[in-house]
Structure 1
């Protein structure tokens, strides 16, 4: 009955709203031959037109999904005529240079999305990213609505792609690779993603089969481009979870531009809603900026900087988790003492110099440094009771534990410190000859990491200490045991490790024809050499080569179809965390994990209800060798560091996106995955990220008679992940799965001011955009779980999996504004 009501609610929410309009926006800065802004340029597209302002800036709205010719004209310059074809809702930046002697007429239609489709890359609209509700709103929140991308923990910004783990995803911002903290164990400690959505201009994502120009990871690439401002603008976003503020501007001569954003987040609203009662102070803040100076029309220098402070203070008090069945309900009651104090501080800076030698040759030099200091200190005593629950309705003790099957306690202690300094310097080049394009890069990386890991756990059940399974069996209380006391888990290690890497790639791309069909070729190779050394470590050196290729064909058919095939060898040389085994000891001889990857893709573009739609389908297979097995607890990954497994992953991803409501983009995603590994030739079992089925939907709408009232609905359904196993247990003995993950986030926004509704007087005059709204996370209040807590039943000596539930239904208020 509850499911039926939930479906009815979704249905009525979906049909209650309707909208209209299909437009795109083109904007930019017009410069002359001396790189100076040109004012009073007439820009026309059919009946629409505008004029550039005193700093050369213009903005023009044009019809979407059709060829539109735009004419730039000025009394002292030759006119520019160029056709565009943009998607609905897309904002495209075009910065023309007006010439005083040569008339410029372009013959190639600018379609910004076609090149991405050829490469198998999904482009996401930054405005959609900023609007869609979620407990961790941002780029990663929107990625989870794509097929093949999963994360069953709304408190985390990490994600798994097609069976890979969180360490297998590349993230770039303006050609610069960015990093995540190392020590974080749970999603509620994570805080802020590196990517500040207020600063984002373009978002591109590839779930596999990507080109050689992208780095050495096994799963995915997230390629972010930050804005180059062309006018003064202030953006603010405030909610009960925190807020963000960004400021952007450009100098009068348009040579210097800057955009700076600050964010503050307090996760108390989400953490306090969980079943564990706590005194908690999860506070996260960062400051980020992107600055560009154009020395000439051939050379520019940019700087990307970030400073973040994440503090997590946690003092649990008590918890009661009810599970089992209606006929045999069971509850776990825990009383806590102690606290946890974590601190993660990171500094990141990168310079990028870009030299435009001519129209065909671009050269770049990039230097970056990432420094993180992290500490986790905790001492927590948990005393628990496991027993039967009173189910007598009307009884004053309803819901309380009446008969205890297990009584015990455990103490967890940790003193973990990490200091990492990562430095990169890279040269990149891009050269075009006719329809051929050549790209190359050489990169040097130095990773200097100092790490101390001290963790131990003591478990006491019914008055006797539980010894680790690796020691002689303890049969207490049935048989006396006189051996020494040993902690159930005990990890102690101190490491000082240096890793030096030299990476390079070269790739070729070409556009051509095959009969009446358009075809695109891409082929490239990467080479990666790395050495590991440190205190007490014998120096090692390894090298791998990674050839990759893509072929795309667009037949000259009545139906708009595009076919892609991509294949290659993808290596992942071990990062620091992959070198550290379960005891915290560095294993320098760990090999690069290797994956043979094949992707078959198809894009079918069509019109329905006289509006554009696209169905994207991809079949993929990954065969992995030299696999480094790992365990996953919340978001912490512990590797074996022994390359003792082989694995395979294959599946199907489908995504239908388009204007289900006129003027808005929505999509529905489906994914099937099978992901399994064979450890030490013992047979195939599910990997920790074996997410079999995935359904997701992103739906946008607005009321027909009140078009300023807009609705956003974000739906995700994932079948259950493997539930893990107790510490020291054999994963082959524990292949049970968690319940399915079901989540719906809903947002309602009332827009007072936007691009189409401006005010010349009154209190709304200063605003370019202003909206108020509310959001409901987990609207159906589903009890999702991410991991299990394993508790011993003294009577039967079995270990029972107690689910750790995630956030229930949470309400949030939000306002956004732009000046």
Structure 2
């Protein structure tokens, strides 16, 4: 084991260390009954103390996620007490009028603030993420119910946002950018998302028009904050799909805290429900920890580490897929030999330190290392038979293939290996200055890629080897005349690339809250700069720079109705990552430009009460103008780029989301989205992009049985219209504008709380050690809909036609889950 790997293993497994509890801030102005500022008011909370200044202003930090008493005392005025419950990094403004009598205010629980609303950020509660059922439960499972977010692959955690692809989404955990493995081509190979939902404290998502402080991607930002423990605790979960364990720890002096999670997942239950019968032995395991240390009231340190090992062994046996129409039913039968052995080992470590130089100036330093070792090895031999199905109900062969239209064989081979090391260093600054917030950051990234691609495919139809159409070979006129030309693979990619990419990026932005008359307004403006250089063997170094200005404006009119209007826009660039530089032949093209998107987003947030309960309706209208587009094809979750900037395009749409307490005490929502995205390659005309998901409807609903409140019901429903179905290899996509069938899926979960000690039950036996014990039943794909992810293209040797045969996803699956909280 190398020194680097040993370092990651040692730090990540060192889970017994606890760390500091993060704080929130309370600030405001203290006045007397004559509305005059009160100086020298003592403000105390949980052992911390501060005083108000000559203007009556005070600021104090308080612990998060627990009810604390903030006490205000003065030598000539009576004591006042307020109870607050704030979340991580919340800034809450509490202005107090002190008088001659002692006062005890009510409890205030802050779950969000106006910043989320005016910046176009959707906040998702961790409890919702953990409880809502899904074949790939977690944050991404919930995102797919939001408007503008699309995916028709329940085995994958990847998603597309407003016409973008899977590579166009930013993901941060504790301000640290997260990377995905490179070589994954199928959703069933993914295993585990980086984010461990048992560790999550806060989730924020923006589908477009986001600020300059976020990085250089075209579509969206997912910003996740991990929990800082305030007491010891543990959670355990086990199901037919795997299990997880997480532990919270804290030191006696509260300076150290740690939260650690271990997960194991096995997708056999889901994969075995597909058309292809397999021997499937996967093993997806990861260990993740977040360690924090409060060095002083002004200085904090943290470490985020992750080790993930995904072993994917896949041996297909047979497949039978029926398709066609009622009048002309057809079937594809395939018999397989061989196997696929893939492995993805990733090691991630990041150190973050925050120094609060003063009440108005904060610095952050972040350093991270991501190392991935990936191999994709397979030899799969397939013999297929394409035929017409006997649809005569009275026939003895009803349902069987009655006439064979085509037979053939196919051999796929790959020996793909990749070793990537990505190092980041970053400094961020935050300045509060006279109602203005100034933020800036500088980042250096070095990506070192060692990649070997050996991949080929041989196709034989009716005994005749099929040559690729792009190679000029003698005409194959068998069996009428003998073929004298060479036999070559239908597809053949062989390349070895050793490349480094150096990146310098930075941003600066300004934010301010103000008033226009009696209306509240918020301003934000910023700019990002990104310079990168590609170097390597057999590559001529190329350096490019992009500048991306962005701005937001929001106004809350002084109306009786609670409404906020927001206008956001700017220029967004996506400098190419390694996968975007590599063309279909495996060759790295260093001169590929950054794709550019100009965003325009107009939105309205309307908060209201219905049935005397809170609700909110969010409406967004958006348009994105795309230039220097790097065209691509999608096969399952594998994206292959043309590595050129010969296209332009656009994406436009409308999103709605209504959320609130349809059932008292629970959050549910309905979402609807309309999207149209097209591209024009080399001025051939506009065609649908691979992610053109026209209509989308999502529903997330929570309820409980009125007579048995310990039984809860969770519903997750998604309906998407069909995506473009792609085209055969070497074919012109302009000639293949067919679409897959609509994607319809309903997952439902039932949970029975067996034990609940959070309401003060006595510990009469060992079960009293559990805070909560529950058992659940989940039904995935409740209505057993046949949903397709892509098409397999098969030739008919007689008619010379190409048949698009859908690759169906999972059918109805049952899962049992047991969860416990200590």
Length-normalised TM-score, structure 2 = 0.89
Query: Residues 737, 780 of structure 1: CA spacing in aligned structure 2 closer, same or farther, 3 A cutoff?
Result: same
Partner of residue 547, structure 1 = 549
The one of 692, 695, 699 aligned to 1:693 = 695
SS at match of 1:571: strand
Partner of residue 272, structure 2 = 272
Partner of residue 14, structure 2 = none
> What displacement does 1:768 show?
1.0
> What displacement does 1:516 show?
1.3
Give a deviation string over 1:236-294, Cα, whole Å, max 9, x none.
11110001100011100000000000000000000111111110112100000000011
Alignment of 1:543-622 (within 5 A): 543-622=545-624
1:530 aligns with 2:544: no
CA contact (8 A) 1:700 1:711 kept: yes
> What displacement does 1:515 show?
1.3
**Structure 2 CA distance for aligned equivalents of residues 106 and 432 of structure 1:** 29
Query: Residues 414, 750 of structure 1: CA spacing in aligned structure 2 closer, same or farther, 3 A cutoff?
Result: same
Query: Residues 30, 614 of structure 1: CA spacing in aligned structure 2 closer, same or farther, 3 A cutoff?
Result: closer
CA contact (8 A) 1:232 1:247 kept: yes
Query: Residues 80, 241 of structure 1: CA spacing in aligned structure 2 closer, same or farther, 3 A cutoff?
Result: farther
Alignment of 1:158-237 (within 5 A): 158-237=158-237
Partner of residue 678, structure 1 = 680
SS at match of 2:353: strand
Alignment of 1:772-791 (within 5 A): 772-791=775-794
**Structure 2 CA distance for aligned equivalents of residues 721 and 80 of structure 1:** 60
The one of 774, 780, 784 aligned to 1:771 = 774
1:389 aligns with 2:389: yes
**Structure 1 CA distance for aligned equivalents of residues 48 and 527 of structure 2:** 48
SS at match of 1:578: helix
SS at match of 1:688: coil
> What displacement does 1:393 show?
3.9
Give a deviation string over 1:395-439, Cα, whole Å, max 9, x none.
554322121000101000000000000000000011101210000
1:743 aligns with 2:742: no
> What displacement does 1:688 show?
0.3
Aligned length: 761
Alignment of 1:108-147 (within 5 A): 112-147=112-147
> What displacement does 1:355 show?
0.3
SS at match of 1:295: strand
**Structure 2 CA distance for aligned equivalents of residues 518 and 84 of structure 1:** 25
Partner of residue 243, structure 2 = 243
**Structure 2 CA distance for aligned equivalents of residues 274 and 184 of structure 1:** 19
> What displacement does 1:763 show?
3.8
CA contact (8 A) 2:379 2:413 kept: yes
Partner of residue 99, structure 2 = none
Partner of residue 378, structure 1 = 378
SS at match of 1:230: coil
The one of 728, 741, 759 aligned to 1:756 = 759
Q: Which moved more, 1:621-630 or 1:469-478?
A: 469-478
Query: Residues 281, 744 of structure 1: CA spacing in aligned structure 2 closer, same or farther, 3 A cutoff?
Result: same
**Structure 2 CA distance for aligned equivalents of residues 79 and 242 of structure 1:** 54
1:305 aligns with 2:301: no
Give a deviation string over 1:510-539, Cα, whole Å, max 9, x none.
000011110000000000000000001001
CA contact (8 A) 1:708 1:751 kept: yes
CA contact (8 A) 1:526 1:546 kept: yes
**Structure 2 CA distance for aligned equivalents of residues 282 and 628 of structure 1:** 34
Partner of residue 13, structure 1 = none
SS at match of 2:485: coil
**Structure 1 CA distance for aligned equivalents of residues 178 and 705 of structure 2:** 41
Query: Residues 758, 752 of structure 1: CA spacing in aligned structure 2 closer, same or farther, 3 A cutoff?
Result: farther
Length-normalised TM-score, structure 1 = 0.89
Alignment of 1:283-432 (within 5 A): 283-393=283-393, 397-432=397-432
CA contact (8 A) 1:28 1:59 kept: no
> What displacement does 1:327 show?
2.0
CA contact (8 A) 1:84 1:111 kept: no
1:812 aligns with 2:815: yes
> What displacement does 1:79 show?
6.9
> What displacement does 1:441 show?
0.3
SS at match of 2:663: coil
**Structure 1 CA distance for aligned equivalents of residues 392 and 24 of structure 2:** 76
Query: Residues 479, 698 of structure 1: CA spacing in aligned structure 2 closer, same or farther, 3 A cutoff?
Result: farther
5+ unaligned residues in a row in structure 1: which ranges? 1-26, 42-54, 62-69, 97-102
> What displacement does 1:59 show?
3.7
**Structure 2 CA distance for aligned equivalents of residues 479 and 569 of structure 1:** 60
Give a deviation string over 1:359-411, Cα, whole Å, max 9, x none.
21110110000000000000001000000113344655432212100010100
Partner of residue 635, structure 2 = 633
**Structure 1 CA distance for aligned equivalents of residues 546 and 340 of structure 2:** 42
Partner of residue 28, structure 2 = none
Query: Residues 79, 339 of structure 1: CA spacing in aligned structure 2 closer, same or farther, 3 A cutoff?
Result: farther
Partner of residue 801, structure 1 = 804
**Structure 1 CA distance for aligned equivalents of residues 739 and 627 of structure 2:** 25
CA contact (8 A) 2:66 2:85 kept: no
**Structure 1 CA distance for aligned equivalents of residues 136 and 111 of structure 2:** 32
**Structure 2 CA distance for aligned equivalents of residues 765 and 73 of structure 1:** 39
> What displacement does 1:705 show?
1.4
Partner of residue 656, structure 2 = 654
Query: Residues 590, 179 of structure 1: CA spacing in aligned structure 2 closer, same or farther, 3 A cutoff?
Result: same
SS at match of 2:142: helix
Query: Residues 759, 780 of structure 1: CA spacing in aligned structure 2 closer, same or farther, 3 A cutoff?
Result: farther
**Structure 1 CA distance for aligned equivalents of residues 761 and 802 of structure 2:** 64
CA contact (8 A) 2:45 2:71 kept: no
CA contact (8 A) 2:596 2:628 kept: yes
**Structure 2 CA distance for aligned equivalents of residues 478 and 348 of structure 1:** 60
Partner of residue 499, structure 2 = 497
**Structure 2 CA distance for aligned equivalents of residues 800 and 58 of structure 1:** 57
Q: Which moved more, 1:746-755 or 1:594-603?
A: 746-755
> What displacement does 1:151 show?
0.7
Query: Residues 75, 226 of structure 1: CA spacing in aligned structure 2 closer, same or farther, 3 A cutoff?
Result: farther
**Structure 1 CA distance for aligned equivalents of residues 716 and 750 of structure 2:** 12
Query: Residues 646, 780 of structure 1: CA spacing in aligned structure 2 closer, same or farther, 3 A cutoff?
Result: same
Partner of residue 253, structure 1 = 253
SS at match of 2:274: coil
**Structure 2 CA distance for aligned equivalents of residues 109 and 764 of structure 1:** 31
Q: Which moved more, 1:382-391 or 1:339-348?
A: 382-391
> What displacement does 1:710 show?
0.2
CA contact (8 A) 2:653 2:674 kept: yes
Partner of residue 724, structure 2 = 722
CA contact (8 A) 1:30 1:38 kept: no
SS at match of 2:141: helix
> What displacement does 1:95 show?
12
CA contact (8 A) 1:520 1:553 kept: yes
**Structure 2 CA distance for aligned equivalents of residues 637 and 588 of structure 1:** 18
**Structure 1 CA distance for aligned equivalents of residues 48 and 708 of structure 2:** 36
CA RMSD of aligned residues (A): 2.8
Query: Residues 30, 343 of structure 1: CA spacing in aligned structure 2 closer, same or farther, 3 A cutoff?
Result: closer
5+ unaligned residues in a row in structure 2: which ranges? 1-20, 26-43, 50-61, 94-101
Give a deviation string over 1:184-212, Cα, whole Å, max 9, x none.
00000001000000000000000000000
CA contact (8 A) 2:569 2:601 kept: yes
**Structure 1 CA distance for aligned equivalents of residues 22 and 506 of structure 2:** 34
> What displacement does 1:326 show?
1.7
**Structure 1 CA distance for aligned equivalents of residues 503 and 207 of structure 2:** 25
